[in-house]
Structures are given as C-alpha cells and as structure tokens.
Amino acid sequence: MTVLALTMQKGGVGKTTTTLGVGTELAQAGLRVLLIDLDPQSNLTMALGINPEELQHSVYEVLLNPTAGADFAIVPTAYGPDLIPATLELAGAELTLAGRFGRELLLRTALTETRYNYDFVLIDSPPSLGLFTVNAMVAADEILVPLQAHVFARKAMPQLESTIALVRQSNPLLQIGGIVVTMVDRRTSVNQLIEESIRETYGDLVYATVIPFNVRLVEAPAAGQPISRYAPDSAGARAYRDLTQELLQRYGIKQTTTQGTD
C-alpha cells in the first residue's frame, strides 16, 4: 500500500492529468486504486465523467469529520479506480477548517483504515500551498512531482523542497518519490535544456519516461474520460502506460493482469 501526493506549487504542470493517467493505468494493471480530488476546481472528478453537482458526499465531508473515516465518500468510476470526489463546497472549507486543532492531520486521520483497502492511493492537490496541499503531504508516504519542462516550473522546485522540510514536522518520513517531466516538446531546444537540467540536478529521482505535450491529453478531461479510453493510441496514452510500468518497477510490483487498450 502506497499513498502518493501529486504536488507542485504551480498550476498547469499536469498534476491532474498525471493522477488520472497513472491511476487508471494502475487499475488496468489489476491493482486496487483510490484517487482523491483535493482541488476545489474538481477537475479530476469531472475528468472521470462525474458531475460534482450530483454527488451526495465528497472530500469536503471527509475533512469536516475525519474520525468517521473516508469510505462513505468513495464512489466507483467507469475506468477502474475508486474516487473520493471534490465539489464546490471545498472552496469554502479552507476558511471553515482554518481554526481546527490538528487541521493538517485531517486527511491522514480519515484514511487511517481506508488506505489499507488499496494498493495505491493518489492524491491530486491544488497548485498553491494551503491547507489542502499540506493535508495531502501529511497523508502521503511519498510525493510524485509532475514537473513541466518550463523555466518557471523548474524554479518552483526549491519552494516545494522547503515546504516538504516544514511538513516533515508532522510527517517525518515524507520524501520525493519521483519526478515526472511533463508537457515536453522535444522540437524546442529550451525544453531539452530544461529537461537536462532537471535530470542533472535530481538524478535517479527523475523518471526516464517523459510526458509529451499532446493535444489529446488536453481534450480527454473535457470529454470526461481518461486518455487510455479517449485516445488509447495517442502519444500521451502511450507515455502514461510507459510511466506506469516504470513506477511499478520502482515499487517492485508485478501487474496482475495484462494491460490493453480500450
């Protein structure tokens, strides 16, 4: 059982796309997967074809009453993983929960039992440093960093590392488990130079697989489908299949079923 928080304190780097791409591929490999949408924009929820306005429960209630656990808010999806969805209610929750004692431990407490029902739990956190992102980090075993091959995303890494150092006061074993270079356009020399810089600085933490800039990866969430269903033969889908295989090798896990395209 591994809990991964997908975190980067910059928007548009591919956190939700990577949560969805890896999560669905892990499920198709026969593993039990739970995805958690901690972003008030509910992008992960909608990308799985779920309408937030039609939900009875969400991660909002989980955070409000963590001792009740998280099972009541879990919904199955058509694509393999289970999901704890987000709704618009989450937008106001940060102020509501700001004065709570142990507010950084809310998600970790709620997942105390639930996490053991799954092989992987992937948490999609917001792009800013706030209560939800801190909760994701405190609940996680490791952080998976989607890092766009862009100069501003590259410069955000030291800030993320400083945040991790602070969060270790509540989660001493927290560490970066891997870095995925995303939105790569190999036709541009700038992208290549930034990727080389990332690999030179972080070494083996960086996955060999890179996620290309691919229009199908942009279209799939709007269609309410993961890339493996929307465009299984696209470059983006192939990249997430390769990334998932690499991730399984890192964690020493053999897939229990044969993957295929839909």
Q: 84 and 73 in contact (C-beta within 8 Å)? A: yes
Q: Where are the domains of the chain?
A: 2-250
Token duo for residue 245: 């295989």
Average pLDDT, integer, range 35-64: 94
pLDDT confidence bin for 46, thresholds 50/70/90: very high
pLDDT confidence bin for 21, thresholds 50/70/90: very high
Residue 23 scores a pLDDT above 90: yes
Q: CA dihedral defined by 189, 191, 193, 196, rounded to 10 degrees?
A: -140
Token duo for residue 41: 């924009």
The fold for domain 2-250 equals Rossmann fold (3.40.50)
Q: How far apart are CA 128 and CA 14, in angstroms?
A: 14
Residue 177 scores a pLDDT above 90: yes
Q: How far apart are CA 178 and CA 141, in angstroms?
A: 12
Alpha helices, DSSP H only, in 29-156? Answer: 43-47, 59-64, 93-97, 106-110, 131-139, 151-155
pLDDT confidence bin for 260, thresholds 50/70/90: very low
Q: What pLDDT is stored for residue 9 in this prediction?
A: 59
Of 259 and 3, which is predicted with more confidence?
3
pLDDT confidence bin for 262, thresholds 50/70/90: very low
pLDDT confidence bin for 97, thresholds 50/70/90: confident
Q: How far apart are CA 23 and CA 32, in angstroms?
A: 10
pLDDT confidence bin for 258, thresholds 50/70/90: very low
Q: 143 and 4 in contact (C-beta within 8 Å)? A: yes
pLDDT confidence bin for 99, thresholds 50/70/90: confident
Whole-prediction pTM: 0.92
**Residue listed under structure tokens 């909608």:** 46
CA distance readout (Å), 3 to 15, 100, 124, 149, 211: 15, 24, 11, 25, 22
- As a residue count, the chain comes to 262
Give the β-pairing of 120-124 and 75-76: unpaired
- Mean pLDDT, rounded, of the chain: 90
